[in-house]
Amino acid sequence: MSDPKLDLEIVRFVAAPRAKVWQAWSDPHILKQWWCPKPWMTEVRAFDFRSGGAFHTFMSGPDGGESDNPGLFLEVVPRERIIWTSMLVAGWRPATPWLGMTGIFTLADEGSGTRYTACCLHKDDADRKKHEDMGFFDGWGIMIQQLQEVAQSLP
Amino acid sequence: MSDPKLDLEIVRFVAAPRAKVWQAWSDPHILKQWWCPKPWMTEVRAFDFRSGGAFHTFMSGPDGGESDNPGLFLEVVPRERIIWTSMLVAGWRPATPWLGMTGIFTLADEGSGTRYTACCLHKDDADRKKHEDMGFFDGWGIMIQQLQEVAQSLP
Residue B114 has pLDDT above 70, yes or no: yes
Residue A83 C-alpha, separation from nearest chain B C-alpha, in angstroms: 8
DSSP annotation of B95 reads -
- Answer yes or no: are the C-beta atoms of A149 and A21 closer than 8 Å: no
Mapping DSSP onto H, E and C, the string for A136-155 reads: HHHHHHHHHHHHHHHHHHCC
Amino acid at position B95, single letter = A
| Per-residue pLDDT at B86 | 98
Task: Please give the residue of chain B at the shortest CA–CA distance from A86.
Answer: B94
Q: Given an 8 Å threshold on Cβ–Cβ distance, is A94 in contact with B104?
A: no
Q: What is the mean pLDDT of each run of 10 residues along chain A (155 residues)?
A: 89 98 98 96 98 97 95 98 98 97 98 97 97 95 97 96
Q: Residue B85 and residue A75: Cβ atoms within 8 Å?
A: no
Mutate to test the interface with A, among B50, B73, B81, B87 (most CBs of A within 10 A): B87
Cα–Cα distance, B128 to B101 (Å, whole number):
9
* Distance of residue A103 Cα from the nearest chain B Cα, in angstroms: 9
User: B88, A93: Cβ pair inside 8 Å?
Assistant: no
User: pLDDT at residue B6 above 80?
Assistant: yes
Please answer whether residues A122 and A100 qualify as being in contact, where contact means their C-beta atoms are separated by less than 8 angstroms.
Answer: yes
Q: What is the pLDDT of residue B151?
A: 98
Task: Please give the single-letter amino acid code of residue B102.
Answer: T
Of A32, A8, A36, residue with least CA distance to A136: A8
Residues of chain B contacting A1 with CB distance shorter than 8 Å? 91
Q: pTM of the predicted model, to two decimals?
A: 0.95
Residue of B nearest to A7 (CA): B93
Does the beta carbon of A102 lie under 8 angstroms from any beta carbon of chain B?
A: yes
Residue B1 has what pLDDT? Answer: 61
Bridge partners of B105, per DSSP, are: B82, B118
* Among candidates A75, A86, A123 on the partner chain, residue whose Cβ is nearest the Cβ of B93: A123
CA–CA min distance A154, chain B (Å): 32
Instruction: Tell me whether B54 touches chain A (CB under 8 Å).
Output: no
Q: Is the ipTM of this complex over 0.85?
A: yes
Q: What is the mean pLDDT of chain B?
A: 96
| B130: nearest Cα among A90, A127, A94, A100 | A94
Other C-beta atoms lying within 10 Å of the C-beta of residue B142: 16
- Chain A from 11 to 50: CB within 8 A of any B CB: none
Band (B2; pLDDT cuts 50, 70, 90) = confident
**Do B93 and A102 lie within an 8 Å CB cutoff?**
yes
| Cβ pair A83, B92 in contact under 8 A | yes
Inform me whether the C-beta atom of residue B4 falls under 8 Å from chain A C-beta atoms. Answer: no
Q: What is the pLDDT of residues B64-106, one digit of tens each?
A: 999 999 999 999 999 999 999 999 999 999 999 999 999 999 9
Predicted local distance difference test score (pLDDT) of residue A2: 78
pLDDT digits (tens, 9 = 90+) for B20-65: 999 999 999 999 999 999 999 999 999 999 999 999 999 999 999 9
